[in-house]
């Protein structure tokens, strides 16, 4: 029997399930079709498991180095089974929470693979869509007035570099490792690659990062990338930038992988026990029935307007499947805008330059708005203010005084164009900068917001004062 809905969402990841909750709040009869587990990549194979592992790694490294704090801990051992168990417990708890939210919102969740069949023959409304899903042997038909495609993404590899899931892995397999390797080559020094490099190094794994661009974290402000690179090297991580990995040179032996990369005009060889490929993610656009619609796919991603409608105005697409900033908070906010638009709530489009981006390595990196280079390319006459954590008492107390906060400001009108941070707990501090950008605050206003002492946030106040040469502690 076909069931009718105001909205059917394909994919119950961060984008899909948040959209479902907003739809339920707005009184829309809503169903989610999910082929694996509600919560998607972020909860089961992304943000949460990686941060749980990062935290265990950080505690391990800190405990080993606790003498600096006057804490003599004796022999420190790692029980990696327990590390994974803790990770899973956190995931399970959050998974339970999301399932509860679905029930609370009276959202129907169908477990199976959804596919758009095209304009429904059952529907009294021309142009509506049917969704078919397979659940074991059963097939069922859902007839929604609106659809949101939120099928997310999966890891990409380099052409010719085959992922075998054991010796050559992506983050999907690495998250479930039962044992740590002695050494690893990480192909790709972007966000995921650097988080893994930091985590594995903290766990005591010998890490080599091969990055194609001339710096790690190449989308961050140049000074931040440079500082990260310096700190990774200081910890003993081997970082090779401007390295073009040659997939055809991959050689696997029992217990080792070897690959060559072109670097400064030479071919260099790298060997380790395992390899992690973190070179980006590709959208899940296959097998979901797009061929039955007018929906357009460009460079592998579904194209939409700024309220996330595809070429078929009642089919929306959000999250990783549309590309852009592939982040959980972006996916969920896009879901909210799409739902509010279909419910005639007139939401404002998203200004992506207001969205904070974070890297949860040690030290952390966080940013919002334009880098200094981007601001200059856009024709702004910029001034900057920078303040080091070395002069921040709380950072010294924590024993984590590497890094800085940097503001990029329009000289003409004091608009804050971007804020960039590298250092302790900056992923929790970036929201002040995000709010400042949303509220159009000036560096003067941030500088004259009295930041508590001692706190890491003093670095933001001081960096704001530094824009006009008025920082107190420099
Ligand atoms: P997804 O979360 O991928 O959800 C898509 C869902 O659709 C999946 O559950 C999938 O099973 C389902 N699906 C696919 N096809 C079908 C179908 N045909 N029928 C039914 N269901 C289907 N982002 C952050 O903001 N912060 C972080 O710290 C962070 N860390 C990350 C770490 C790693 C290792 C990775 C891989 C990603 C990380 N991300 C992080 C990115 C974040 O996970 C994604 O941006 C986010 O999950 C995108 O949400 P989504 O809803 O678009 O897609």
**Which residues, judged by CB distance below 6 Å to any ligand atom, belong to the binding site of ligand 1?**
10-16, 33-36, 40-42, 45-47, 50, 113-114, 150-153, 171, 192, 284, 288, 319-321, 326-329, 331, 360
d(Cα 154, Cα 316) in Å, to the nearest integer?
Answer: 20
* pLDDT reported for residue 130: 74
Cis peptide before 363 (omega within 30 of 0): yes
pLDDT digits (tens, 9 = 90+) for 242-284: 999 999 999 999 999 999 999 999 999 999 999 999 999 999 9
Question: Which of 42, 48, 95, 327 most suits a substitution to test ligand 1, by most atoms within 8 Å of the C-beta?
Answer: 42
Q: What residues does 383 pair with on adjacent strands?
A: 409
* pLDDT reported for residue 159: 92
Residues 6+ away with beta carbon under 8 Å from 423: 363, 364, 389, 395, 400, 401, 402, 403, 404, 405, 456, 459
Q: How far is CA 222 from CA 70, 111, 214, 229, in A?
A: 37, 45, 10, 11
| Residues shown for the chain | 474
Measured in Å, residue 453 CA sits from the centre of ligand 1 at: 39
* pLDDT reported for residue 354: 96
* pLDDT reported for residue 441: 97
Measured in Å, residue 16 CA sits from the centre of ligand 1 at: 9
Catalytic residue among 44, 314, 451, 453: 453
Ligand 1, closest atom to CA 360?
A: 28
Other C-beta atoms closer than 10 Å to the C-beta of 193 total 25
d(Cα 161, Cα 247) in Å, to the nearest integer?
Answer: 5
Ligand 1, closest atom to CA 37?
A: 9
* pLDDT reported for residue 123: 60
d(Cα 151, Cα 141) in Å, to the nearest integer?
Answer: 18
Q: Give, using CA atoms, the residue closest to atom 35 of ligand 1.
A: 46
Q: DSSP assignment of 234-289, as one string?
A: HHT-EEE-SEEEEEEEEEEETTEEEEEEEETTEEEEEEESEEEE-S-EEE--TTS-
Task: Find how far residue 346's CA is from the centre of its chain.
Answer: 28
Q: Give, using CA atoms, the residue closest to atom 14 of ligand 1.
A: 151
Ligand 1, closest atom to CA 329?
A: 25
CA dihedral in degrees (431, 280, 303, 46; nearest 10)? -50
CA proximity to 251, closest of 189, 167, 155, 170: 167
Q: How far is CA 332 from CA 284, 312, 347, in A?
A: 17, 21, 14
SS3 at position 174: helix
ipTM of this model? 0.99
Which pair of tokens denotes residue 208?
């080599």
* 453 is a catalytic site residue: yes
* pLDDT reported for residue 127: 63
Q: Which residues of the chain have pLDDT under 50?
A: none
* pLDDT reported for residue 232: 98
Ligand 1, closest atom to CA 16?
A: 51
């Amino acid at each position: 029997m076909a069931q009718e809905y105001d909205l059917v969402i394909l994919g119950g990841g961060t984008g899909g399930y948040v959209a479902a909750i907003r739809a339920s709040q707005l009184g829309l009869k809503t169903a989610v079709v999910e082929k694996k587990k509600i919560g998607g990549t972020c909860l089961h194979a992304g943000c949460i498991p990686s941060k749980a592992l990062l935290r265990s790694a950080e505690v391990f490294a800190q405990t080993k180095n606790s003498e600096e704090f006057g804490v003599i801990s004796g022999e420190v051992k790692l029980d990696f089974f327990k590390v994974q168990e803790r990770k899973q417990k956190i995931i399970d708890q959050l998974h339970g929470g999301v399932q509860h939210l679905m029930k609370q919102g009276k959202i129907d969740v169908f477990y199976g693979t959804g596919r758009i069949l095209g304009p429904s023959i059952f529907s009294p409304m021309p142009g509506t869509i049917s969704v078919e899903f397979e659940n074991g042997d059963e097939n069922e038909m859902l007839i929604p007035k609106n659809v949101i495609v939120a099928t997310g993404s999966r890891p990409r590899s380099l052409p010719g570099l085959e992922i075998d899931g054991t010796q050559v892995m992506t983050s999907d397999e690495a998250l479930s490792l039962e044992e740590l390797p002695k050494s690893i080559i990480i192909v790709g020094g972007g966000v995921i690659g650097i988080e893994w490099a930091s985590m594995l190094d903290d766990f005591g794994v010998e890490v080599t990062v091969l990055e194609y661009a001339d710096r790690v974290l190449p989308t961050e402000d140049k000074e931040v990338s440079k500082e990260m690179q310096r700190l990774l090297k200081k910890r003993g991580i081997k970082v090779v930038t401007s390295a073009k990995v040659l997939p055809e040179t991959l050689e696997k032996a029992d217990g080792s992988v070897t690959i060559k990369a072109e670097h400064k005009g030479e071919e260099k060889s790298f060997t380790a026990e395992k390899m992690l490929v973190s070179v980006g993610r590709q959208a899940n656009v296959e097998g979901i029935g797009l061929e039955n619609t007018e929906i357009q796919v460009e460079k592998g991603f579904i194209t939409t307007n700024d309220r996330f409608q595809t070429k078929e105005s009642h089919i929306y697409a959000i999250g990783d499947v549309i590309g852009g900033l592939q982040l959980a908070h972006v996916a969920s906010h896009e879901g909210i805008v799409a739902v509010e638009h279909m419910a005639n709530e007139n939401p404002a489009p998203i200004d992506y330059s207001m969205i904070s981006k974070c890297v949860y390595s040690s030290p952390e990196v966080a940013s919002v708005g334009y880098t200094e280079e981007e601001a200059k390319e856009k024709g702004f006459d910029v001034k900057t203010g920078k303040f080091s954590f070395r002069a921040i008492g709380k950072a010294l107390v924590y024993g984590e005084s590497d890094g800085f906060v940097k503001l990029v400001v329009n000289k003409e009108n004091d608009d804050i164009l971007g804020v960039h941070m590298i250092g302790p707990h900056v992923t929790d501090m970036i929201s002040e900068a995000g709010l400042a950008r949303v509220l159009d605050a000036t560096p003067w206003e941030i500088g004259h917001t009295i930041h508590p002492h001692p706190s890491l946030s003093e670095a933001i106040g001081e960096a704001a004062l530094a824009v006009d040469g008025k920082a107190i502690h420099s």
